[in-house]
Amino acid sequence: MTQAFETLISAAELRALVASGGAPLLLDCSFDLADPAAGERAWAAGHLPGALHAHLDRDLSGPKNGLNGRHPLPDRHAFAALAGAWGLTAGRQVVVYDGQGATYAARAWWLLRWLGHGAVAVLDGGTAAWLAAGGTLVSDRVAAAPQPPYTELPPAMPTIDADTLLAGLGRLFVLDARGGERFRGEVEPLDAVAGHIPGARQRFFKDNLQADGCFKPSAVLKSEFEALAAPTLHTVHQCGSGVTACHNLLAMAHAGLAGSALYPGSWSEWCSDAARPVARG
């Protein structure tokens, strides 16, 4: 029986899987918040053979209403239909990747786990690691093999809404994946209000990576998250819009610390209501 990859997969492991006829579903999630079309252009210029493109705004997020954050979760039924259109079937290995240190691939990983699909992994090191391992890129447009909407299973990834989080402040352990300057409220390039959720601790998502763009070893990640005293079942992950928080969720899962929750609306939703408290510093 073929091994299922559920957190990370190395470039060498992916090459071996493809060579064995494993036929994973490949999703290129490259994106740029400053230029939303850049990732799709990059995919068109060169992507892993057989990879489809998953667009953060169009595919990995739902409609915005001004109060639900910059990247709200998609409707589960709609996302199940999209997953089927990509060719996802029960048990099929999915590998997601990007060229930005898994910033956006981690979101796709989380969403597919949320849908109930277990065999989904992020390509460790992304496009650069694939090329370094001798892989090639192609520019041909891939034709998906559509399937019926994916059969939804109970969400494997818990979430929490703003009201529940507000009621739990002081009891829940909130971990913010944004950089220090944004967390402290010194700068805020994307949202209307600067600062953070009161009581939150900071764990910059890029701290999960080594200099080569690959994730740190699982033992190192485990040690670092445990040093934060993050109680797995009572930790809530958030960031600016619910995207890079998934990077911390992936890192914890890879370290054997699965079970914590995502606050999907994150800071962009939290700060849209002036009644919610804000901390700085």
Give the Cα separation of 36 and 57 in Å (integer): 8
Cα distances (Å, whole numbers) of residue 129 to 109, 173, 191, 199, 257 = 18, 34, 33, 37, 25
Query: Would you call 271 a catalytic residue per the annotation?
Result: no
Burial 51-82 (b: 16+ CB within 10 A, else e): bbbbbbeebbbbeeeeebbbbbbbebeebbbb
Q: Where are the beta strands (DSSP E) in 160-256?
A: 173-176, 201-202, 235-238
DSSP 3-state of 215? strand
User: How are strands ordered across the β-sheet holding 235-238?
Assistant: 201-202, 173-176, 235-238, 261-262
Catalytic residue among 214, 239, 246, 271: 239
Angle 252-253-259 from CA coordinates, rounded to 5°: 95
Q: Which residues are catalytic?
A: 239
